[in-house]
Chains A and B, each alone.
Chain A
Amino acid sequence: NAGVTQTPKFRILKIGQSMTLQCTQDMNHNYMYWYRQDPGMGLKLIYYSVGAGITDKGEVPNGYNVSRSTTEDFPLRLELAAPSQTSVYFCASSSPANTGELFFGEGSRLTVL
C-alpha cells in the first residue's frame, strides 16, 4: 500500500491564481480530510468527507473547495490564491472500522506571492 499520496510537494503561486492539490489513498478509507499547518498554529481542518459524494466544512474552509467523486480521491481546490493561504497542506484519511487512526500524506508546501 502506498497509503496517502499528495501532489505536488511544493508550489509557488501568484496572487489570484488557482490550483488543485491532489490526494489519493489506497486503503479504502471512508474518511478523508484536508488540514493546513501554519507555524506555531497546529493543524486546522479545512474540509472533510465521510464518503464518496459527501463533503463538509471544517474550521477554516473559506477560499477552498473540495469534491469526493470516488472513495480514493479527495482534491482540494484553491480559487483566487491569497498570501494568507501560504501554508503546508496535509491530506489524511481514516477508517472508523479500524482504530480511527489518521494517516497523513507527506504534505504540500504552498507559497502565494
Chain B
Amino acid sequence: GENVEQHPSTLSVQEGDSAVIKCTYSDSASNYFPWYKQELGKRPQLIIDIRSNVGEKKDQRIAVTLNKTAKHFSLHITETQPEDSAVYFCAASIPGNQFYFGTGTSLTVIP
C-alpha cells in the first residue's frame, strides 16, 4: 500500500514568517494530494489540495507544490498568524479513493 512520510513533526515560527511542511509518497499511482488542518479536539478539515496533473496551486496565503518525479509535495503558508496554529496532515489518494495520511505536523505560530 501507499506510504506517506511527513516532516517536520513540530514547527514553531514567528508571526509573519513562512512555514513549510514536506511530504513524500511511495505509490506512483497516487493522483490526489489533499492537506488537512486539525485544531485541538476538532475534526480534520481540508485547506488545499492538488491533483497529479498540476505542479502548483495557491489559495491566498496557502500554496501547495507537487513534484511527481521525486514523489514529494509541500505545503507553504506565508505571513503566518496565530490562528494558523494547528496540526497539519498531508495525504495521498490512490485510484479507488483510498486516502493515506502522514503523521502530522504540529505548527505553533508565536505572536
Contact across chains for A107 and B43 when beta carbons are under 8 A apart: yes
For the complex, give the distance between the alpha carbons of A87 and B78 in Å: 33
Count residues of B near A (Cβ-Cβ below 8 Å). 24
Q: Which residues of A contact B96 (CB under 8 A)?
A: 50
Dominant secondary structure of chain A at its interface with chain B:
loop
Question: How far in angstroms is the closest Cβ of chain B from A110?
Answer: 15
A12 contacts partner chain B, Cβ-Cβ < 8 Å = no
Interface residues on A, range: 20 to 34
| Contact call A101/B46, Cβ cutoff below 8 A | yes
The answer to whether A45 and B100 touch across the interface, beta carbons within 8 angstroms, is yes
Contact with B along A50-91 (1 / 0, CB 8 A): 100000001100000000000000000000000000000010
CA distance A35 to B42 in the complex (A): 14
Once the chains bind, are A104 and B104 in contact (CB under 8 Å)? Answer: no
**Chain B 44-65 near chain A by CB (<8 Å), digits 1 or 0:** 1110010000000000000000
Asked if A99 and B43 sit within 8 Å, CB to CB, the answer is: no
A113 beta carbon closer than 8 Å to chain B: no
Instruction: Please state if A43 and B89 are interface contacts (CB–CB under 8 Å).
Output: yes
B103 at the A interface (CB under 8 A): yes
Query: Assuming A42-B101, A59-B100, A101-B46, what are 18 further A-B pairs, CB within 8 angstroms?
Result: A33-B99, A41-B103, A42-B102, A43-B89, A44-B101, A45-B99, A59-B1, A90-B43, A94-B97, A96-B97, A100-B49, A101-B34, A102-B44, A102-B46, A102-B91, A104-B43, A104-B45, A105-B43
